[in-house]
């Protein structure tokens, strides 16, 4: 079981309180974090009134089937890309009862990298119904666990912006 650092749990609690006060629910769509964002959100007691559902879409087929990401988008840009992250976040809202969707796709390593897409590359997107989807590209340092924890932190930041 992954223990989440205290600073992430504090940030998560603040996010949940913000969403609760605004009546917002969250859906997650995760690839390289494999459900850790949803895990961090649900590590906080009482999160069930904010966390609507989570999608773990590690394969390209699951991104298409569960989130409605178009195959052409994946073929043209690759699964680890801004357009796919945006489509995943928007799909999380479209395929749930949430108003906020967060998505992450990346290369946590130690393998899977290419010359153009290094280990640590992550694309994070956050969508909110009625607003433009936001996106951030990061190249994170460290081992697989460090990259995944930093990814959660960055995803929470992006969610905060959309919740505000």
Selection from 159, 141, 158 nearest residue 150 by Cα: 141
> What are the phi and psi torsion angles at 106 (to 5°)?
-175, -170
pLDDT in tens, 75-121: 999 999 999 999 999 999 999 999 999 999 999 999 988 889 999 99
The half-sphere exposure of 19 on its side-chain side, counting CA atoms within 13 A, is: 28
Tell me whether strands 121-128 and 134-139 are parallel, antiparallel or unpaired.
antiparallel
Can you give the pLDDT at residue 80?
98
Residue 163 has which token pair?
């919740």
Q: How far apart are CA 130 and CA 53, in angstroms?
A: 20
Q: Is the pLDDT of residue 2 over 70?
A: no
Can you give the pLDDT at residue 115?
87
CATH topology of domain 6-163: Maf protein (3.90.950)
Q: What is the pTM of this model?
A: 0.96
Tell me whether strands 100-106 and 121-128 are parallel, antiparallel or unpaired.
antiparallel
Q: How far apart are CA 21 and CA 78, in angstroms?
A: 37
Could you tell me the residue ranges of all domains in the chain?
6-163
- Could you tell me the pLDDT band of residue 25, with boundaries at 50, 70 and 90? very high
Q: Is the pLDDT of residue 55 over 60?
A: yes
Q: Is the pLDDT of residue 38 over 80?
A: yes
């Amino acid at each position: 079981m992954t223990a989440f650092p205290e600073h992430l749990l504090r940030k998560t609690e603040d996010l949940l309180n913000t969403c609760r006060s605004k009546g917002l629910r969250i859906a997650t769509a995760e690839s390289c974090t494999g459900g850790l964002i949803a895990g961090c959100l649900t590590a906080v007691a009482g999160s069930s009134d904010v966390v609507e559902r989570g999608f773990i879409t590690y394969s390209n087929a699951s991104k298409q089937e569960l989130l409605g990401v178009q195959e052409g988008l994946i073929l043209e840009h690759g699964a680890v890309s801004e357009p796919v992250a945006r489509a995943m976040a928007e799909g999380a809202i479209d395929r749930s009862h949430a108003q906020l969707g967060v998505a992450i796709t990346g290369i946590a390593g130690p393998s899977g990298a290419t010359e153009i897409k290094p280990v640590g590359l992550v694309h994070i997107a956050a969508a909110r119904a009625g607003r433009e989807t936001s996106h951030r590209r990061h190249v994170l340092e460290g081992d697989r666990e460090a990259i995944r924890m930093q990814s959660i932190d960055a995803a929470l930041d992006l969610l905060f912006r959309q919740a505000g």
